[in-house]
Amino acid sequence: MTPVDDGVLDPVIVEDLRQAQRECGNPCFIEQLVGIFQASAPERLTLIREAIGARDTKTLTLVAHTLKSNCAMLGATRMASHCAALEQCGESADVATAAALLPEAEAEFPRVLAAVAALATE
């Protein structure tokens, strides 16, 4: 099964990444992107959880925005959408809604990690 078969990663974005890898001539390009994501994303999700608990909307906005961008770059569009919603909650200081939305992001996150890991080893 490829990382796009289960719908976690957008096949168009994955193909764009593969094309970029071919064009840059670095056979480890995707693997390197995934490695950076794997090293930073779990901590970002933790920071989002902590920011919601502390009612720190500035941190919530900033970290959700960063994680959204990282997810989108790798094709994890559903996770990016969850992060966008969390970012919007931070911008509007709606911590209650952010707390209600967080479990969806946390449920999607392991699927994203597995899909990008598979992508890196293709």
pLDDT tens digits, one per residue of 43-88? 999 999 999 999 999 999 999 999 999 999 999 999 999 999 999 9
Which pLDDT score is estimated for 1? 47
Query: Beta-carbon neighbour count of residue 99 at 10 Å?
Result: 15
Query: Beta-carbon neighbour count of residue 20 at 10 Å?
Result: 13
Using left for φ > 0, alpha for ψ between -120 and 50, and beta otherwise, residue 25 falls in left
Residue 5 has pLDDT above 60, yes or no: no
Higher pLDDT, 1 or 46: 46
Residue 6 has pLDDT above 80, yes or no: no
Fold of 11-120: Four Helix Bundle (Hemerythrin (Met), subunit A) (1.20.120)
CA angle 55, 61, 67 (to 5 degrees): 120
Query: Beta-carbon neighbour count of residue 91 at 10 Å?
Result: 14
Q: Report, as an integer, the average pLDDT of 25-40.
A: 96
Which pLDDT score is estimated for 76? 97
Rounded CA separation 21/61 (Å): 31
CB 101 within 8 A of CB 89: yes
DSSP 122: -
Residue 110 contacts by C-beta under 8 Å, 6 or more apart in sequence?
A: none
Residue 116 has pLDDT above 90, yes or no: yes
